[in-house]
Structure 1
Amino acid sequence: MNQGFPIPAGRQIHLPWLDGLRGIAAMWVLASHVQILSGMRDIPVLSWGGIAVDLFMLLSGFLMAHNYFLRRRAEPWDEPRTFFMFWLRRFFRIAPLYYLLLIVAIGMGAMLAEDRSSIAAIWPSTMTPLHRYLDGSVGNYLAHLSFAFGFLPDYAFRTALPDWSIGLEMQFYLVFPFLMLAFSRFGAFRASVAALAICALAWLLLPTYFQRFEMPSLIFMKLFVFMAGMWVAIARQEGPMTRSMFSAVGIIVLWALMQRHMQAGEPHLMSLFRLLMVVGMFYLMNNGTLPGSGLSGRVVREMRKLLSGRVARFLGDTSYCVYLLHLLILLPVAGALARYEAYVALPSPVRFLICLALVMPPVYLVSWVLFRTVETYGIQFGRSVVRLFSRPAVTAPGARRANT
């Protein structure tokens, strides 16, 4: 087995500036939905909630690979038991809070559909199919409880939660150990190209199936973003980061070109922004080997400091819950506001700010409470379950929950 990814001595386990990045991604998604539901026209970057979700995917790809590298001695990549332990950890990180909010979302479905209709009555272009809120079928329940909904076009976008990306995340967890094994045995570049080829082939062979998805909730559509994050982790293991950065950029560009042949591509400006986001991630994680490191070093240090502070830590801790929860609070608030003529008559930026100011405090307050209770205890319970299946192993000191 190729041992091409050594762990340098003193490798950092927790990278605190990633807390701030997660917090920014969650706030970005929230603000993009406020923009839509307050009837404000699209504004570049602010309205790109999908790119904010890509930032989550980029971070997820990095963190999964980063932690896999750290555990590889205790949990060798070619052992099935390693796969099982990885899946257990990720399930208990995601599932407890998700199941709770899924129950709440289904219970609120009729009310949220009414609020959504009130908003669409004023701004028709914002309308989404109401079956997203009203599907109480057993099939919908089972699809979401099993996390299989991401593979099923009829259920992939069928709750009030923005959980299409949660199903996508779970699909990534499913394939991730196999990807790492392929990276180790065949080399990261060849394995990445092969994975992209499989994604493209699936899309070409099943175009009707892919077209039925309202959101890109299938792993074949977004694996390239996760892999770009994995390349950042690979770069940190290898030492020199330049070659890995160009490999990740190549993955993004190659997929963008292929996607334009498989379906209508996204606007060029969004594709460029995603590419810059990947490059920015490399420089934020720079170990001094990227081009221009001397010139960018001070900026990178200041960014890391800004993204590692108390506020950033709070935003990072609450990010998962904020992402899942915010529509359950935003829709009733935006629906109530849309029923007031005086509010509707205001300039759209003012409407946006009013709605955002009313929504953010309860979203972050409830998210903090749920983080300290459901989310934290779910993770602790998951660790207890993992220990039942674990053999004694020496773990690196100082590991923190935030980056697991």
Structure 2
Amino acid sequence: MKSVVGDRVDCLDGLRGLAALWVLVGHAHLLTRFSVPVIGDPDLGVDLFIMLSGFLMVFHYQRRRDREPWEASSTWITFWVRRFFRIAPLYYVMLVAALTLGPMLYDARMAIDGFNGVRPQLAERYLDSSLANYLAHLTFLFGFSPHFAYRTALPDWSIGLEMQFYAALPFIVIVIGRIGWLKGIVAVTAIGLVIASGLNRIGINFPMPTFLPLKMHVFAAGMLLAGALRTDRARAYQFAAIAIMLVLAPVGGERDLMHETVRVTLVLIFFAFIHTHRLPEPIARRLRPIGAFLGNGFFHNLGELSFGAYLIHLMVMQPVIAYLIRTTNVSDPVRWALTLAITVPIVYALAWVGYNLIEMPGQNIGKGLTKPRASA
């Protein structure tokens, strides 16, 4: 299995890093009025993140299941503690920063929205520093509530979604273990679609797809691509075909031809990199160096900084764009280029600081709390 070595997937670091960069660049497009298809759509970058998350959780589950069987509730606790300390420390710091800096960020966003001639963002998204809003986000319950789901300056709607996925994953894996991969994934996705349809019918609409049933099909596509690693070639292709059908489910995002085509393409590209050894040799021979390149030192670091860059970038980008609007008279493409030239170095410098001072210590706490105790 040449595309997977031990506990490492060669291309995964690069794909994570590029997904974060895609979201950053996409927001720069949206906020500077410079529109380019595909790369100007940050939601597609988030879909790639979600697919990667579904893959990664199952990949690590399969690698550890002999020593951490998910039939044991202790494994669930270990998993949840590790994921909490992977996500929460930096998120909490950025949450406090976003709510504290809310008035400044709101002022910047009003300048941007006025210049772009779009409907202004609701003030509550930036200015609600109430205890209820803090509690909703500190507990990661905000994704269940249309009222709180989109109520900070962070792009944290997907963070709540991730935490819901982590909470549900042990139960999903148990279902899959009992009835099989394909039946289990299809059943879980179908339940999500029924719930999403029911909410729509009774008039409950989320400003962003923060509720797990709205994106379960994308997580499930990534899970299938990981599950396919333990199957034969024919079944792996079958898993990939079903993953394509899953990402086409009519919920949780724009459904036009461009978006659907990109989502299908993401599944095909991901499958090709993960299952290179199952492709025809002429194609595999060309993909292996690319996969290895996406796993090099630069892309490893880009991937490690992806979470911080994702959380931080809007708090840097919006004041930068507002400043450029107020002080320069340049074309939209030039404003977009200046935005990225200023924002990218600052964002990744801050992400590096956050990674070393907050993320890594947090991860170490999680590992320490779940480390097996030596018997006396």
Question: Could you tell me how far 1:252 is from its partner in structure 2?
Answer: 3.8
Segment of structure 1 superposing worse, 73-82 or 198-207: 198-207
Structure 1 residues 106 and 206: CA distance shift in structure 2, 3 A? same
Partner of 2:259: 270
What is the distance in 2 between the residues matched to 1:34 and 1:242?
Answer: 42
Q: TM-score, normalised by structure 1?
A: 0.88
Work out whether 1:351 is the aligned partner of 2:335: yes
Structure 2 residue 50 is the aligned partner of structure 1 residue 57: yes
Moved more, 135-144 or 10-19: 10-19
Residue 333 in 1 paired to residue 320 in 2? yes
Superposed counterparts of 1:54-93, under 5 Å: 54-93=47-86
Residue 22 of structure 1 aligns with which residue? 16
**Offset of residue 28 of structure 1:** 0.6
The 3 A distance-change label for structure 1 pair 254 and 301 is: closer
Identity %: 38
TM-score by length of 2: 0.94
Describe the SS at the equivalent of 1:136. coil
Q: For 1:206, what is the secondary structure of its paired residue?
A: helix
After the TM superposition, which segments of 4 or more aligned residues of structure 1 sit over 4 Å from their partners? 208-211
Unaligned runs of 5+ in 2: none
Alpha-carbon distance between aligned partners in 2 of 1:274 and 1:193, rounded to the nearest angstrom: 18
- Please, which of 271, 276, 295 is the counterpart of residue 282 of structure 1? 271
CA contact (8 A) 1:203 1:210 kept: no
How many pairs align? 374
Residue 184 of structure 1 and its aligned partner are, at CA, apart by: 1.2
- Among 299, 302, 309, which residue is 1:322 paired with? 309
In structure 1, what is the equivalent of residue 239 of structure 2? 247
Name whichever of 203-212 and 25-34 sits farther off: 203-212
> 1:374 matched to which residue of 2?
358
Q: Is the partner of 2:298 in helix, strand or coil?
A: helix
Report the counterpart of residue 40 of structure 1 in structure 2: 34
Q: Report if the CA contact (8 A) 2:23-2:310 is conserved.
A: yes
Which residue is equivalent to 2:131? 138
Amino acid across the alignment from 2:195: A
Letter in 2 for 1:15: V
Q: Which amino acid aligns with 1:116?
A: R
- Give the CA deviation at 1:255: 5.8
Residue 302 of structure 1: CA displacement?
A: 1.7
Q: Report the alpha carbon displacement of residue 365 of structure 1 after superposing the two structures with TM.
A: 0.7
Q: Give the drift of 1:188.
A: 0.7
**Structure 1's 264 and 284: CA in aligned 2 closer, same or farther, altered over 3 A?**
closer
C-alpha displacement of 1:265: 5.2
Q: Secondary structure at the match of 1:155?
A: coil
Contact 2:218 2:246 in 1 (8 A): no
1:79 Cα offset (Å):
1.0
Matches within 5 A, 1:205-224: 205-207=198-200, 211-224=204-217
Deviation at 1:392, TM superposition (A): 5.4
Taking the aligned partners of 1:56 and 1:329, their CA distance within structure 2 comes to 21
SS at match of 1:212: coil
Once residues 131 and 120 of structure 2 are traced to their aligned partners in structure 1, the CA distance between those partners, rounded to angstroms, is 25
More off after superposition, 143-152 vs 12-21: 12-21
2:299 is the counterpart of 1:307: no
Write out per-residue CA displacement over residues 223-266 of structure 1, whole angstroms, 9 at most, x where no aligned residue: 1111111111111122x24433433432442563554xxx9952
Q: Give the secondary structure class of the aligned counterpart of 2:121.
A: coil
Pairwise CA distance, 1:287: 4.8
Answer whether contact 2:221 2:247 (CA < 8 A) is retained.
no
Of 225, 229, 238, which residue of structure 2 is paired with 1:236?
229
